[in-house]
Structure formats: C-alpha cells, structure tokens
Structure 1
Amino acid sequence: MFGIIGAMQEEIDLLHSQMDDRVEMNRSGIVFYTGSLNEKPVVLCKCGVGKVNAAVYTQVLIDRFNVKQVIFTGVAGAVDPELNIGDVVISTSCLQHDIDVTALGFARGVIPYQPSSEWKADEQLVAMAKEAGEIVLPGRVKLGKVLSGDQFIADRNQVQELFEVFGGACTEMEGAAVAQVCAMNDVGYVVIRSMSDKADGSASVNFAEFTIEASNNSYRIVNEMLKRI
C-alpha cells in the first residue's frame, strides 16, 4: 500500500477527488482517506505545515496502515536558478537545512551523533516519478536534493546560500522529516515538488497565484506513476 502525503489542502484536493472506494478514517486524531487510485491501494492525508507534523503523520501511516512506500507531493520554492515556476523536482535525497550545530564543530545540516543527516530517496520510486514526469511534463522535471526547514524562505541571499552550501534544488518545510522517518522504518520514499515560487521575496505576489498550478503538476506526476506501477 502507498502512503501519499501533502502539507496543504490544495496539494491533495485532486488526489482526493479521484480516489475510488474512498473511506475517511480517524487515527490518533488524524484524518486519513483510504481507497484506490488507478486501482492501486493508497492512504492519503494532509499533514499540515512543518517537519513535526510531517514526521508524525508519516509514522502513523507506517504504524497504523502498514504502508511500504511513501510519496510526498506538493509545492516548493526554487533554489536552483535553472528552475522556473511550475517545474518539478523529484528528490534524489532530502536534508534539513536548518540544523545548525556548527558551534560544536559539526557542518551545517549535520545532525550530531546520528548515522545519517541526508536520506536517499527510493531509487525505484525516483525512476518511476522521472518516467512519469517525462510523459506529462516533458522538459520540466529535474532530479535533485530537497532541502527542508521550518522556515518560509523569501530572501535572495539565503536562496543563493542554500544552493551554494547544500547544492539544493528546492526548499520546503516537510520532505526531510518524511525521509528521516521512512529511513528509520526501512520504508521507501520520494518527494515530488512543483515550484510555486522562486523563494526570492516575490512569494507574496506569486505564491497564491501559482500554488494551484504547481499542485496540479505534482498531481499529474503522482497519478501517472500509479498508472505505471
């Protein structure tokens, strides 16, 4: 069974509307929707914004629904200057950019005393997402590192820094938490993010306008993935 997560309502609306045999369930005070998409069994949920929310929902998906693969879908801010609004990033890995223990001699992004601070996405899911992206959005899909932090990035200098320090493709607020929980449970994951803004201070102008368009692009790739599994 696949677990599919989005942070905001706009990010799950299309998936929710296309589910067959949809059943609403409440687990640990959290609403989940079970059913099927393209004849594949799925559990869909909206986790809310931030890494803590994303981690809790991912663990509940694993514990209560026994999902074996997790897809996180939604929008993000572009960090790679080659990305434009509406382009899609498929995660090769995820890292928390707001972890900073440099005062104790650790590099930025490193979680002290943990076996890993960057979690690779499931290669099979990445390949399927890339193939789906090439079909529905040819020329607009990029593989790359997804950076997560409990911050809405809207400063050009910070964007440049994230790109130069971490080599990130995009920045958002949940993916690395999902990735860490999946790694701890030996569950495969992939993050699929469509660019809603350039993370450059113009978000107040274009975020609301392009969030629905970007969410639709993410949905199209997830939908095509499930068709091909």
Structure 2
Amino acid sequence: MIKIALVAAMEQEIIPLFEQFATDSAWYQKDEKIFINDTLGISVYGSVLGVGKVNAAYHTAEILLEFSPKLVINIGFAGGMQHGVSRGDIVIGNDYRQVDFQGFNMGNEAGIIPKSKPYVIPEIFIKILVEKSKELGYPCHVGRITTGDFFLSDSKKKQEIIDKFTPVAFDMESAAVAHVCAEKGVAFVAVRTLSDLADDQAEATIKTSSDNIEQRPVKLVLNTLTRSLASI
C-alpha cells in the first residue's frame, strides 16, 4: 500500500478532496483523515495544516511521524509571479525558497536554511502531472515556488521577489513543508492553483471571484494517482 499525504493550509482547499472520496465508490474511509483505494493500492492522508510556515512545518512533522507517507503533496492556492499567467492556472513546484529567511552571507543560497538537506523532487510524477493538466485543460507552469509569512498583495514587493528568486508562484506554506520533508528524506511537490497575481489587486481579485478553482489541484492529483503509481 503506497501512502500519500495530501495537505492544505485551509479547509476550503482540502474539502474538494473529501468530496471526491465521498462520491467515488473506489475509495473508503478508514478513519477521520485516511482514505483507501484497495484496487490502486493507495492510502491517502488528507489534512489541514493551518496558514503560514510555522503551522505548516509543525503539522507536516506530525504527519510524517504518524503516517510515514512516501510522498507529500501540498494543494491549495498561490499567487502568480510570472508574466502572462491567469487566475485558475496550475503551478507545480520543483524548487522552493523562503523569501523572508535571511541568514549570514556565507555562500548560502538565498531563501535556503544553511545545512538543510536537498529537496526530494518526484520528477517523473511532476512530468505526468503536467501531461494530465493539459488533458484536463488547465494551463500549467512548473518552477520555483517562493514562500513567506505574509499575503503578497504589493506589486513593488512582488517585483523584488521576482528579481531575486525568479519564481512561478508565491504562497505561505510550500517551502516550509518542503524543508521538513527534505530533512526526513520524503518526496514533496506543491500543486496549486492561482487565486490571484500577487499584486496590488490580489485581495480584491480573491474577494470578487467565485469560480471553484480550488477543485483543480485535487482533480489533477487524483487523476494522476490513478494513472501511474510507478511514478511515485
């Protein structure tokens, strides 16, 4: 049985996962957070981490200890950081940086905690995620995701982060989850949908939109899991 943890910062981001399990007879609920598909040989732990890096790191560590997943997937929203992206696009992380972490300048890469272990990036799984995203009609962007303990809604700050890190997206948890997973040697990938463009209009964009895009990461991940377990 392959164990996978699907985590999100907020209830709104994880609810589509539980709704999908409830309507698909191939899955059954083992307990409050664990769902199993015997045919596929998958056990999925779905959980809310809470907003921000501290919540994300703390609860990820708990999940790794309790569940011992082979792969952790962080689903949810993010702010777009590339020119030409749109709300609802999918972003997939293959590198992660903390924009508000600054250690001594001793040759360490910006946004990386010194002496931390390298991220375990599931490259083949990411490739299949991209293929499936195209099949579902979701524009998809793969690259670095930046993380900070603040909601990014400032065009000037956005440009500063772009100039320093060249990311595809910004969120408040992914790099923290990635760091904890790396320390334990567990594969990690963030699969998020753009809720806004992380600019001066970001907050207004979120407040005035109601298009159920939070369902996209869940649909994409579950479609990919049912397609190729060998990639995990």
| TM-score (ref. length: structure 2) | 0.86
Local SS of the residue matching 2:226:
helix
Which residue does 1:84 correspond to in 2? 86
Kindly indicate whether the alpha-carbon contact (under 8 Å) linking 2:148 and 2:173 is maintained by their aligned counterparts in 1: yes
Kindly indicate whether the alpha-carbon contact (under 8 Å) linking 2:120 and 2:185 is maintained by their aligned counterparts in 1: no
* Cα distance between partner residues in 2 of 1:166 and 1:172: 14
Local SS of the residue matching 2:168:
strand
* Cα distance between partner residues in 2 of 1:223 and 1:115: 31
Kindly indicate whether the alpha-carbon contact (under 8 Å) linking 1:85 and 1:210 is maintained by their aligned counterparts in 2: no
* Cα distance between partner residues in 2 of 1:183 and 1:221: 24
Which residue does 2:115 correspond to in 1? 114
- For 2:90, the aligned partner's letter is V
RMSD: 2.2
What pairs up with 1:36-75 in 2 under 5 angstroms? 36=36, 39=40, 40-75=42-77
Residue by residue over 1:136-163, the C-alpha shift from the partner in whole angstroms, topping out at 9 and shown as x without a partner, is: 125x001111001101111101111111
Kindly indicate whether the alpha-carbon contact (under 8 Å) linking 1:76 and 1:171 is maintained by their aligned counterparts in 2: yes
* Cα distance between partner residues in 2 of 1:222 and 1:210: 23
Which residue does 2:218 correspond to in 1? 219
| TM-score (ref. length: structure 1) | 0.87
What pairs up with 1:1-229 in 2 under 5 angstroms? 1-19=3-21, 20-25=27-32, 33-36=33-36, 39=40, 40-101=42-103, 108-111=110-113, 113-115=114-116, 119=119, 121-138=121-138, 140-210=139-209, 213-229=212-228
Q: Classify 1:200/1:126 alpha carbon distance in 2 versus 1 (closer, same or farther; 3 Å).
A: same
Kindly indicate whether the alpha-carbon contact (under 8 Å) linking 2:120 and 2:186 is maintained by their aligned counterparts in 1: no
Which residue does 2:24 correspond to in 1? none
Q: Classify 1:120/1:63 alpha carbon distance in 2 versus 1 (closer, same or farther; 3 Å).
A: closer
Kindly indicate whether the alpha-carbon contact (under 8 Å) linking 1:89 and 1:192 is maintained by their aligned counterparts in 2: yes
* Cα distance between partner residues in 2 of 1:210 and 1:148: 23
User: Percent identity, aligned pairs only?
Assistant: 28
* Cα distance between partner residues in 1 of 2:161 and 2:120: 18
* Cα distance between partner residues in 2 of 1:196 and 1:78: 8
* Cα distance between partner residues in 1 of 2:224 and 2:44: 13
* Cα distance between partner residues in 2 of 1:166 and 1:82: 18
* C-alpha deviation, 1:103, in angstroms: 7.2
* C-alpha deviation, 1:102, in angstroms: 5.9
Q: Classify 1:153/1:211 alpha carbon distance in 2 versus 1 (closer, same or farther; 3 Å).
A: farther
* C-alpha deviation, 1:221, in angstroms: 0.9
Residue by residue over 1:179-221, the C-alpha shift from the partner in whole angstroms, topping out at 9 and shown as x without a partner, is: 1111111111110111000111212221144476331221221
Q: Which runs of 5+ in 1 are unaligned?
A: 26-32
Q: Which runs of 5+ in 2 are unaligned?
A: 22-26
* Cα distance between partner residues in 2 of 1:59 and 1:107: 24
